[in-house]
Structure 1
Amino acid sequence: MGILFLVRHAQASFLEQNYDKLSALGEAQACHLGEYWARRQIVFDRVCAGPCVRQKDTLRLVSNAYSKAGLKFPDPLVLPEFDEYQGEAVLEHSLPGLIENDQSIRALHAAFKSSSGSAGRRATFQKLFEAVIGKWVRGAICPPGVETWLEFCSRVNSGLAKFLAAGSRGERVAIFTSGGPIAVAMQRALQLSPESTLQVSWMSRNSSWSEFLYAAERFTLSGFNSHGHISDPAMLTYR
Structure 2
Amino acid sequence: MGAIYLVRHGQASFGAADYDLLSEQGKVQSTAVGAELRRRGARIGEARCGSLLRQRATAAAALAELATGLSAKEDPRWNEYDHLDVLAHHGTPVEQRDPRVFQAALDAALRSWTRAGAGSPCAESWPAFGARTRAAVAELAAALGRGEQAAVFTSGGVIAAVAAELLGGGAEAFLHLNRVTTNAGITKLVAGQSGLSLLSFNEHAHFESTSLLSYR
Fold shared by both chains (TM-score > 0.5): yes
Q: Which letter maps to 2:167?
A: L
| In structure 1, C-alpha distance between the alignment counterparts of 2:169 and 2:2, rounded to whole Å | 22
Asked if 1:34 corresponds to 2:34, the answer is yes
Aligned equivalents of 1:143 and 1:192: distance in 2?
21
Output the CA distance in 1 between the equivalents of 2:148 and 2:39: 20
Query: Are the structure 2 counterparts of residues 173 and 141 from structure 1 closer, same or farther at C-alpha, using a change threshold of 3 Å?
Result: closer
Q: Paired residue for 2:197?
A: 220
Aligned-partner residue type, residue 209 of structure 1: I
Identity %: 30
Length-normalised TM-score, structure 2? 0.91
Alignment match of 1:202 (pick from 172, 179, 182): 179
Of 212-221 and 191-200, deviating more is: 212-221
Provide the C-alpha distance between the structure 2 equivalents of 1:133 and 1:185, rounded to a whole number of angstroms.
16
The 8 Å contact of residues 43 and 73 in structure 1, kept in 2 or not, is answered as no
Total equivalences in the alignment? 216
Residues 10-159 of structure 1 aligned to structure 2 (within 5 Å): 10-67=10-67, 72-95=68-91, 121-139=98-116, 144=121, 146-159=123-136
CA deviations 1:7-61 (Å, max 9, x no partner) are 1111001121211110000001111111232234322011100111111111100
2:189–2:200 Cα contact (<8 Å) kept:
yes
In structure 2, the partner of 1:180 is 157
In the superposition, relative to structure 1, how do residues 216 and 53 fare at CA in structure 2: closer, same or farther (>3 Å)?
farther
**Structure 1: any 5+ residue segments left out of the alignment?**
100-108
Moved segments of 4+, more than 6 Å: none
Q: Which deviates the most, 190-199 or 202-211?
A: 190-199
Which of structures 1 and 2 has the bigger CA Rg? 1
SS of aligned partner of 1:220: strand
Structure 2: unaligned runs, 5 residues or longer:
none
Q: CA RMSD in A?
A: 2.2
Q: Does the residue aligned with 2:6 lie in a helix, a strand or coil?
A: strand
- Give TM-score scaled by structure 1 length: 0.83
SS of 1:18's equivalent in the other structure is coil
Aligned counterparts of 1:62 and 1:139: Cα–Cα separation in 2: 37
